Amino acid sequence: MAIITRGLFLNWFKEKRFMQGSALVTLGTQIGIQLIGLATGILVARYLGPGGRGELAAVLAWVSMLVYAGNLGLPVAYTYASAREPNRTTQLLANGLIALFIQWPLLMLIGWVVLKLGLSNQPDQIRHLAFLYLLAYTPLNLLTLYINAIQQGLGKYNHFNAVRICVPVSYVIGLLVLVFLRQMTVGGVLFANLFSNVVTLVLALILITPQAKERCENKVRIFNLAALWQDMRYAFSAYLGTLQPFNGLRIDQLLLTVLLSVQDLGLYMAAMAGASLIRAQGYALGTVVMPEVAKRLDRKTQLKVLEQFAAFALLLGISSAVIASVWAKPLIELVYGKAFTGAASTLQLLVIASVPASLYRVLADGLRGMGHPISGTAAELISLAIGVPSVLLLARSNGADGAAIGVGLSSLGALVVTIQALLHVRKSPVQSRDFQTQEPTDKLPIAANKTGRPS
């Protein structure tokens, strides 16, 4: 009995250390990505100037939105599926190729129309560049997302984060080459971005190959349209929740381009860049909590894991918000200069709004791991219903500060809906309503041991 108890304790201790280490590595990677992004943004702006930076931003914003919306939630479904059924790794990769060859031409067709309308005020050369960039960026980005989602579900967080950090690092290398060659143009920067995506895809393929070979020994059909449809059902349920209208699609910023002056919009963007560091905490922790919850086979253990991550997210978010609020003015002046001092109050409001947004992200990802992706979608719909009218109303009278308050109200609405969903899930059996990634006829075992890790 003592030996069994000691073994269970050691398993629990190793498991807890694994989750803590994974969360810290992912959080550190996210902060690194944010800081590198800030540095590359300053570098590109200095070389391209306001006009060129605006053209580049227009291309990247529209293409990124199209591809981001076009993934249809499949990366989240792949994370859930690989966490629950790790022996499907090769099948998920193969089915991802099928999905890609359907999504790619559809996105090109939609993109041709959207880019023509969205970039109507840009020169013909910029519209052509945007379409060519969409043509190359779509398969690179989607395939990398699918591969890395599988790594996330398998709990290979070192591989997962290596792929994530590879994008900005290789982008920096590409930009430095452009500076050396004196080819720092809008087209050159877009080429550097594509270069970073090619390098990242190659790294992702190298890292996933051993996993695919190891899992390939399982007798699972490689191409399976029925399994792909099951994954797509989960993806559709989680779709809007993965889009995150305010954090992902930047709907607040699109609204403010109409409502605010260029100066006030610039202040809001500067403040949002600082507040995004707190939102990034929720993203990083949610990235780990979803597969870790999905691996657990009983509700009590799932909730225990989620509660630990939620408590950490809340503590970290509040601590960061207090520091950022107190030092808002000197931080803004240090990073952007005294011309942006007016963004200090907006930063204070946005960092406060980021705390419930960060906690919401962790809870929503935990619910997705429990097989309830629709909860995040419902929360985002409420967020959208509260946020859009709030921003429209408050920004007109209070400028950037009013928009920040509207964003905060949308985050609170999403958090309340998510907490209600979590309380409801607490009372339900673990298997009765959880989303199943495979048809019962496939009879694929969930390869997990007692600690919840893949065997």
Instruction: State the amino acid at position 317 in one-letter form.
Output: G
267 within a domain of the structure (yes/no): yes
Q: How many domains does the chain have?
A: 2
Residue 448: phi, psi to the nearest 5?
Answer: -140, 145
Q: Residue 52, exposed/middle/buried by CB under 10 A (0-12, 13-18, 19+)?
A: middle
Evaluate if residue 288 carries a pLDDT over 70.
yes
Residue whose pair of structure tokens reads 């490689």 in the numeric block = 222
Q: Give the pLDDT score at 442.
A: 39
447 within a domain of the structure (yes/no): no
DSSP state at residue 260: S
Q: Are residues 198 and 223 in the same domain?
A: yes
Residue at a domain's end among 185, 214, 236: 236
Q: Give kind and range of the element (H or E) at residue 196.
A: helix 186-215
Q: Are residues 172 and 266 in the same domain?
A: no
- pTM (global) more than 0.75: no
Q: Give the pLDDT score at 52.
A: 76
Evaluate if residue 2 carries a pLDDT over 60.
no
Evaluate if residue 211 carries a pLDDT over 50.
yes
Q: Which of 132-136, 150-154, 273-277, 449-453 has the lowest mean pLDDT?
A: 449-453
* Three-state secondary structure of 95-157: HHHHHHHHHHHHHHHHHHHHHHHHCCCCCHHHHHHHHHHHHHHHHHHHHHHHHHHHHHHHCCH
Q: Are residues 82 and 112 in the same domain?
A: yes
Q: Give the pLDDT score at 48.
A: 78
Residue at a domain's end among 184, 211, 236: 236
Q: Are residues 38 and 64 in the same domain?
A: yes
Cβ count within 10 A of residue 47: 17
Residue 96: phi, psi to the nearest 5?
Answer: -65, -35
Range of the domain at 94: 20-236
Q: Give the pLDDT score at 438.
A: 46
Q: Are residues 141 and 222 in the same domain?
A: yes
Q: Which of 19-23, 165-169, 292-296 has the lowest mean pLDDT?
A: 19-23
∠ Cα 140 110 226 (to 5°): 65
108 within a domain of the structure (yes/no): yes
Q: Are residues 256 and 220 in the same domain?
A: no
Q: Give the pLDDT score at 318.
A: 93
CB 155 within 8 A of CB 24: no
Q: Are residues 276 and 207 in the same domain?
A: no
pLDDT band with cut points at 50, 70 and 90 for residue 6: very low
Residue at a domain's end among 236, 261, 287: 236
2 within a domain of the structure (yes/no): no
In 3D space, the residue among 356, 360, 452, 370 whose CA is nearest the CA of residue 408 turns out to be: 356
CB 29 within 8 A of CB 165: yes
Question: Could you read off the pLDDT of 349-403 as tens digits, one per residue?
Answer: 999 999 999 999 899 888 888 888 777 778 888 888 888 888 888 888 888 888 8
442 within a domain of the structure (yes/no): no
Q: Are residues 138 and 254 in the same domain?
A: no
Which runs of consecutive H residues, i.e. helices, occur in 224-298? 225-243, 251-259, 262-295
Q: Give the pLDDT score at 441.
A: 35
Side-chain half-sphere exposure of 343, counting CA atoms within 13 A:
27
Q: Are residues 217 and 252 in the same domain?
A: no
Q: Are residues 188 and 276 in the same domain?
A: no
Evaluate if residue 27 carries a pLDDT over 90.
no
325 within a domain of the structure (yes/no): yes
Q: Which of residues 21 and 13 earns the better pLDDT score?
A: 21
Q: Measure the CA–CA gap between 286 and 283, rounded to whole angstroms.
A: 5
3 within a domain of the structure (yes/no): no
Helix (H, G, I), strand (E, B) or coil at 420: helix
Token couple for 34: 């944010």
Q: Are residues 54 and 153 in the same domain?
A: yes
269 within a domain of the structure (yes/no): yes
Q: Are residues 262 and 398 in the same domain?
A: yes
pLDDT band with cut points at 50, 70 and 90 for residue 110: very high
